[in-house]
Structure 1
């Protein structure tokens, strides 16, 4: 006990005595406390050296800050010392726009070290004045190129970590398709996108050393500033020869987020971060990872940071609370919610879709909500006006609250209990998969971040997918993606998939095949029932690159395909899914296709007892979201709603073709006939 007390006291004394210091030798700044030493070049604003106290091992080969994959680099024109005390050192680097700049932006980079900082904090501010010309960018990133011979263990999630191949083996790599993938001498193919991350629950990624126990991690207490927010997926770490690349994408377009364009005449600024470059040492790489996660938890409790003074960073925040419920509209009963998410996003403009491609503002969210009516709290929300969106595992779709949410500094916005109604026109006859916005439950979905699975389709399904409801098991009989295969002429062609199911009677009214899309790339989709005329194609699915970049969740979409009773028959029926290549590469490899999240048939007069449910598919909870409606008896295509559920606080119903939802709309949201379909944020209509 005495020893423990002595150690604690000694640690306290050391931290008080030494604190943090700043040294300027004319060419570089050195930030140092008794835990870490970080050197930053004055000419560039880039970190040139990182070491842990008492250990002479250099972490870095080099680092840089750039845009658009290295086409534009941050180039410090000047620097200044913002704070220099024994407890707080903060320095700033500035790159101000001129006619020679690669982007029409001002850049300000801040590095901060406190007396107890185990590494260094990084923050970046962009500014675009109205007088600047129009400018666009797809990526903004900080890259640390660590020494690969030392930092040879990569980890980005609990279940995504590995020992990286040597630089010598990588230099012998043979390029595969796509070009970012290469085959090592041992036959293994490595692909940098196998280590991508989803922002929703992410807070740490980086490298550790098997030989020294050292670790270098990006610790992010908040990802509120990331373009796309909770919806976004992006690259994080990979290896290149003698460098282990640890990357923080402050803006990125790898999974369909799109470019960011600021027009002349527009004043705009944004702060990315601060986040912590965390340096540690542990007995094993797994211990280093666990320690980094613990640090992420601690840093999260400090958010928003009080130490930074970078212009535009908001310290005075608000809080949003509420209780979420989703009803089955056919029964009025609550649907149990699992791993539900509530997000706050700020509308950008009528021409820029949200939330997947949102970038101008911050977004905030709460996740992992469970129960019939879970209560949520979204902390540290930047004051402003937001749109609330929600979704949950086991429930199809995404919901929008029919009122905007205003957040004020120092105040709690209590939304009370709000209830959404799912969009379902009839009882579920059968369903395939689990509505969770991923294709993870299907064949190969449990190891999706592995190069080349799309090439396995012909071998796994030589006769394509023929799924028999009640007999097949989607875990092995439904592939994680529907892709093209090479034809005899070398060009890739689509292969139809079939779903077989039995009916003992004909539906009494219009039925809906509701298809939730987890991801898509350069593909169009149409459906035929019993070899009849196929529906008009849905051609506006966004290419989110998820297939070629080894993801499992891209840009979510819900589609409705409507069928008249006369299209069905007693006995065996068949839906055919035609996925056609409409862009991308025509030869060499196939990266077009669709990842299905969930498929279900809703048929009036048939409650699921007249046909067998899909094996392993026992979840009958459904909900509404981004919906396109296709009807077999016409060629009419409804507007492409991204969300067609607004909360219903009224017991009345809206007539067919009447308004049933939208921002500031206060009337009935339940349709007397048909479904409430989203037209735009301000208007939904019963059709």
Structure 2
């Protein structure tokens, strides 16, 4: 296998439309992350996925299916080499484990036949508006770190060679939410709850009767020692996948007519029904006015309002509450 990988692109193809290795180019560089709330110095973006794709917005590569894409991973120091790139104009994109958001290089990259493009040092500044007050999960674009239940007893448990997949690939896991939370929805208490135990891997619908479903409302309860009502706070909400969902965010009042934030109707990756742990990535930086918060106990409501089928819902990746 390694020999075949090393010999690609093959030289035996005779079609005039086939681009051989000596007609392709190389792009190299080194990626760092700058997040002043984690480190005063730039941090090497180790094991980041970095690649060339058709020009577009940051993150647009995951919805692109017509143009060429060429990807690799950085080493421990953030170095990368993207080889055998077909000539054309690209944008450079990256995702970095441990950090939210999508990186995009500022300029288009024009690869020509035989070119060796050296980009030098690149800096990614992930979304950040303030210091972390609390966080739930790990920013890795998957829901794998959250609680994954055992499958319903009537279904056969399938064994996988990769043990990390043995849990979330079992059939009917979404139905276990109603078993674990038969009447009341999930409540997460910051400081005492543990996301690997207390945060269900998917916010799905609840079955009512034989054929009816309704959306669910989760609560995040947290305490603030002080609140600056003139300041703005930020809820960084990263979703690992969404399917036919409409997620509302409400602050300290679940009964208001209009939510403080709504994603709108999003998602079609069907990761929940297909036993996946991630799909298309979504990130929302939600501003929260200080006057909506109180000193002491606060509650954020996450309401998945769509409720037509058992597969409507979201997989969370990571949630972070930031202060000024």
Query: TM-score, normalized by length of structure 1?
Result: 0.42
Distance 1:451 1:417 in 2: 45
Q: Tell me the distance in 2 between the aligned counterparts of 1:356 and 1:405.
A: 19
Runs (5+) with no aligned partner, structure 1:
1-294, 605-687
Asked whether the equivalents of residues 241 and 281 of structure 2 are also in contact (C-alpha less than 8 Å), the reply is yes
**Retained in 2: the 8 A contact 1:337–1:395?**
no
Q: Given the superposition, is the C-alpha separation of residues 360 and 561 from structure 1 closer, same or farther in structure 2, using an over 3 Å criterion? A: same
Cα distance in structure 2, aligned partners of 1:336 and 1:517 = 25
Of 88, 103, 107, the match for 1:403: 107
Secondary structure of the 2:169 match is coil
In structure 1, the partner of 2:232 is 510
Tell me: CA distance 1:338–1:415, structure 2 relative to 1, closer, same or farther (3 Å): closer
Give runs of aligned pairs for residues 59-98 of structure 1, distance below 5 A.
Answer: none
Q: CA–CA distance in 1 between the matches of 2:33 and 2:234? A: 20
Quick one: which of 28, 42, 47 aligns to 1:339? Answer: 47
Distance 2:174 2:200 in 1: 9
Tell me what 2:313 maps to: 593
Mapped partners of 2:300, 2:4: distance in 1: 51
Residues 3-82 of structure 1 mapped to structure 2, 5 A cutoff: none
Q: Where in structure 2 are there 5+ consecutive unaligned residues?
A: 150-163
**Contact 1:329/1:422, CA 8 A, preserved across alignment:** no
Quote the residue 2:245 is aligned against. 523
Q: Which runs of structure 2 are paired with 1:221-240 in the superposition (5 Å)?
A: none
Counterpart residue number, 2:139: 435
Residue-by-residue CA offset, 1:177-211 (whole Å, 9 max, x unaligned): xxxxxxxxxxxxxxxxxxxxxxxxxxxxxxxxxxx
CA-to-partner distance for each residue in 1:317-362, whole Å, 9 max, x for gaps? 11110010110155653245342111110138x9xx9322322221
Query: CA distance change for structure 1 residues 421 and 590 in 2, over 3 Å: closer, same or farther?
Result: same
User: Which residue does the alignment assign to 1:298?
Assistant: 3
Cα gap change, 1:485 to 1:512, in 2 (>3 Å) = same
Q: Distance in 2 between matches of 1:339 and 1:509?
A: 36
**1:441, CA displacement in angstroms?**
0.6
Q: How does 1:63-212 map to 2 (within 5 A)?
A: none
Tell me the residue number matched to 2:214.
493
Higher relative contact order (CA 8 A, sep 6+): 2
The residue that corresponds to 1:365 in the other structure is 71
Shift of 1:581: 1.3
**TM superposition shift of 1:537:** 2.0
Question: Does the 8 Å CA contact 1:523/1:579 hold for their aligned counterparts?
Answer: yes
Q: Does 1:465 align with 2:180?
A: no
SS in 2 for 1:397: coil
Is the radius of gyration larger for structure 1 or structure 2?
Answer: 1
Partners of 1:329 and 1:421 within 8 A in 2: no
Equivalents in 2 of 1:542, 1:312: separation in Å? 36
**Are 1:308 and 2:308 counterparts?**
no
Runs of 4 or more consecutive aligned structure 1 residues displaced over 6 Å after TM superposition: none
1:432 to partner: Cα distance: 0.4
Distance 1:461 1:338, change over 3 A: farther
1:569-613 deviation digits (Å, cap 9, x = unpaired): 11111111011217xxx3xx5011000100000111xxxxxxxxx
Q: Distance in 2 between matches of 1:310 and 1:552?
A: 40
| Structure 2 residue aligned with 1:554 | 279
Structure 1 residues 328 and 536: alpha-carbon distance in aligned structure 2, compared to 1, 3 A threshold:
closer
2:209 counterpart of 1:482 = no
Whole-angstrom CA distance in 1 between matches of 2:17 and 2:171: 41
Counterparts in 2 of 1:459 and 1:368: CA distance versus 1, 3 Å = farther
Cα 1:337–1:323 change in 2 (3 A) is closer
Tell me, what secondary structure is at the counterpart of 1:566? helix
User: What does residue range 606-625 of structure 1 map to in structure 2 within 5 Å?
Assistant: none
Distance 1:338 1:479 in 2: 29
Deviations 1:491-538 (A, max 9, x none): 110110111111111146100111001100001011111126422421
Give the alignment of 1:533-552 within 5 angstroms.
Answer: 533=256, 534-552=259-277
Which residue is equivalent to 2:295? 570
| Structure 2 contact 261–286 (Cα < 8 Å) conserved | no
Contact 2:244–2:265 at 8 Å: present in 1 too? no
Within 1, Cα distance between the matches of 2:55 and 2:108? 10
The offset of 1:460, in angstroms, is 2.4
Find the counterpart in structure 1 of residue 155 from structure 2.
Answer: none
Are the aligned partners of 1:340 and 1:370 in contact in 2 as well (CA < 8 Å)?
A: no
- How big is the shift at 1:443? 1.1
Matched, 1:378 2:82: yes
Cα 1:556–1:300 change in 2 (3 A) is same
Greater mean alpha carbon deviation, residues 563-572 or residues 590-599: 563-572
Number of aligned pairs?
A: 299
Tell me by how many angstroms 1:310 deviates.
Answer: 3.4
Measure how far apart 1:490 and its partner are: 3.1
Which whole-Å deviations, capped at 9, do the CAs of 1:397-416 have from their partners, x for residues lacking one? 11111101111221211001
Change (3 A) 1:335 1:460: farther
Q: TM-score, normalised by structure 2?
A: 0.87
